[in-house]
Amino acid sequence: PHSNTLEISASFPPDFLWGVATSAYQIEGAAYEDGRGPSIWDAFSGTPGKTYQGDTGDIAADHYHRMEEDVALMARLGIGAYRFSISWPRVLPQGKGSVNSRGLDFYERLVDCLLAHEITPLITLFHWDLPLALQSDGGWLNRETALAFADYAEIVARRLGDRVRWWATLNEPWCSAYLGHGSGEHAPGLRDLQAAITAGHHLLLAHGLALPRLRAHTRSDAQLGIVLNFTPVYPADEQPETQESAQQADAFHNRWFIEPLYCARYPEALFSALQVQPPAMEASDLELIAAPLDFLGVNYYTRLLVRASAPANGGPISARLAHETVAPVPGSSYTEMGWEVYPSGLKDLLLRLQHEYQPKAMVVTENGAAFHDEWDGNEHIHDGCRIAYLRQHIQALGEALTSGAAVRGYFVWSLLDNFEWAFGYSKRFGIVYVDYSTQRRIVKDSGYWYASFIAARRPRS
């Protein structure tokens, strides 16, 4: 399993963060313990028909009870950094108001445990599990939710800001806004594109309001950022209509959030492409949203290859956008999610972001793949596909770095197999297998490969 280790040619700086990522609802379980309040994902996954076979995060990978064991496992693999998210409803069961200190205690133990093992923590404050109580007041459709988020961010920073350097406000607001309010695939399950635009604006506002509060209560060397998902769009032919439709798709998939954050404006093509109105906003919103960031978190999984098609008037987004996706792409391989494996997309993306937005730094906060992992009942899980995926993407990342992209870290999604949202437990992204009947962890070949890869780059003292 270690044979692929030396195949990466690029050289990475000694302080480059080699990490793994998870999120609270996907791994913790203990959904009703120690005073945790319900989130929109408890309600959504508990609604028949919303997730694969009705799967929920009630137990998940039981990480809440196995935290020390999981950190020890990371330490054994030589993982340098761990990106995890904090469950807002563990800290504030009602979303605002009284603080549940047992929730904060858990994350404080986690952080101390990581630091004791010399693993750098990167905290994500919101990875989609909005307190259900806030949803009753409109959730992200209500501007007040942005204010509540900023208060929550300060509460966490006051407890952990002396020890944690790396903070991300939101994970993939595109998913919360569009999958949650536009397509309805995610909680809260609305299907209204105009609502998605409103939710997106309030998510950005939440980020903007939280930043100064985090700044005030974290270390002077704190690195504050946000995590966005990108799906680079490539035109399938040279036709002008195809070029045009690719740009529309790009505004929707890739510019919706980064443009307000780095340029204090929404991409014009977004609203025309989606046939919606710009969000209602206050005069100072965009300025707040565009406050300088220390790093941009970049999640990359796949690309879209598109060609022009006739747009529909109204109807679902897939019909409104004037493109169709070319799939399968001849010669390409695909993951279990049906996503094309396209490593050079990561290099193109990082260089494009560098040139167009000049972020002070970027961190690849998620990259990884679901494959059908066979466990033979013995000690091995031969996920060569995942090793190849990771190796090729790390190679592409190295090339981007060499060509001038300011990348400071890379996190594999994910440490553990976990609750893959609407797909429940049917998709496995872990470099560590989880046997959900016993909660036993079995390191996959990709986990051993990543461990050797990191070890080969660790500076020797």
As a whole number of angstroms, the distance between CA 284 and CA 207 comes to 14
The interface with ligand GBH within residues 404-423 (CB under 6 A) comprises: 413, 420
Is 174 annotated as contributing to ligand binding?
A: no
Q: Check residue 29 and give left, alpha or beta (phi > 0: left; psi -120 to 50: alpha).
A: left
* Residue of 286, 61, 316 lying closest to 185 (CA atoms): 316
Rg, the chain, Cα only: 21
Q: Produce one character per residue of 410-446: b if its CB has 16 or more CB atoms within 10 Å, e if not.
A: bbbbbbbbbbbbbbbbebbbbbbbbebeebebbbbbb
Binding flags for ligand GBH, 10-39, as an x/- string (CB under 6 A): -------------x--x-------------
Is 202 annotated as contributing to ligand binding?
A: no
Closest distance to ligand GBH from the beta carbon of 137 (Å): 25
Taking the least distance from each CB to ligand GBH, the nearer of 285 and 417 is 417
Residue of 114, 157, 175, 270 interacting with ligand GBH (CB under 6 A): 175
Which DSSP string corresponds to 234-274?
EESSS-HHHHHHHHHHHIIIIITTHHHHHHSS--HHHHHHH
Taking the least distance from each CB to ligand GBH, the nearer of 429 and 450 is 429
261, 306, 184, 24: CA torsion to nearest 10: -60
Closest distance to ligand GBH from the beta carbon of 84 (Å): 12
Catalytic residue among 154, 172, 340, 399: 172
Q: What is the DSSP letter of 377?
A: S
Closest distance to ligand GBH from the beta carbon of 232 (Å): 10
Is 421 annotated as contributing to ligand binding?
A: yes
Closest distance to ligand GBH from the beta carbon of 229 (Å): 5
CA-based angle 110:20:355, to the nearest 5?
A: 120
Taking the least distance from each CB to ligand GBH, the nearer of 258 and 286 is 258
The interface with ligand GBH within residues 112-151 (CB under 6 A) comprises: none
Provide CB contacts within 8 A for 399, sequence distance 6+: 10, 347
As a whole number of angstroms, the distance between CA 146 and CA 205 comes to 6
Closest distance to ligand GBH from the beta carbon of 283 (Å): 32
Taking the least distance from each CB to ligand GBH, the nearer of 217 and 427 is 427
Residue of 28, 55, 285, 366 interacting with ligand GBH (CB under 6 A): 366
Closest distance to ligand GBH from the beta carbon of 461 (Å): 35
Is 413 annotated as contributing to ligand binding?
A: yes
Is 127 annotated as contributing to ligand binding?
A: yes
Helix (H) or strand (E) run with residue 308 in it: strand 304-308
The interface with ligand GBH within residues 291-320 (CB under 6 A) comprises: 299, 301-302
Is residue 374 flagged as an active site residue?
A: no
Is 301 annotated as contributing to ligand binding?
A: yes
Q: Which of these ranges, 3-11, 169-177, 188-196, 342-350, lies near ligand GBH under the rule CB under 6 A?
A: 169-177
The interface with ligand GBH within residues 227-246 (CB under 6 A) comprises: 229, 231
Closest distance to ligand GBH from the beta carbon of 3 (Å): 27
Closest distance to ligand GBH from the beta carbon of 128 (Å): 7
Which DSSP string corresponds to 50-95?
SSGGG--SSSTT-HHHHHHHHHHHHHHHT--EEEEE--HHHH-TTS
Place of tokens 């404050």: 125
Is 382 annotated as contributing to ligand binding?
A: no
Contact 414/429 with Cβ under 8 angstroms? yes
Binding flags for ligand GBH, 197-216, as an x/- string (CB under 6 A): --------------------
Is residue 366 flagged as an active site residue?
A: yes
The interface with ligand GBH within residues 327-356 (CB under 6 A) comprises: 339
- Is 85 an interacting residue with respect to ligand GBH (CB under 6 A)? no
Total binding residues for ligand GBH by CB under 6 A? Answer: 15
The interface with ligand GBH within residues 424-443 (CB under 6 A) comprises: 429
**φ and ψ of 324, to 5 deg:** -125, 150
- Report the Cα–Cα distance between both ends of the chain, in Å, rounded: 27
Burial class (CB in 10 A: 0-12, 13-18, 19+), 138: middle
E strand map for 353-413 = 362-367, 407-413
As a whole number of angstroms, the distance between CA 37 and CA 326 comes to 43
Catalytic residue among 28, 154, 366, 399: 366
As a whole number of angstroms, the distance between CA 328 and CA 371 comes to 17
Give the footprint of ligand GBH on this chain (CB under 6 A). Answer: 23, 26, 171-172, 175, 229, 231, 299, 301-302, 339, 366, 413, 420, 429
Could you list the active site residues? Answer: 172, 366
Residues in the annotated binding site for substrate: 26, 127, 171, 301, 413, 420-421
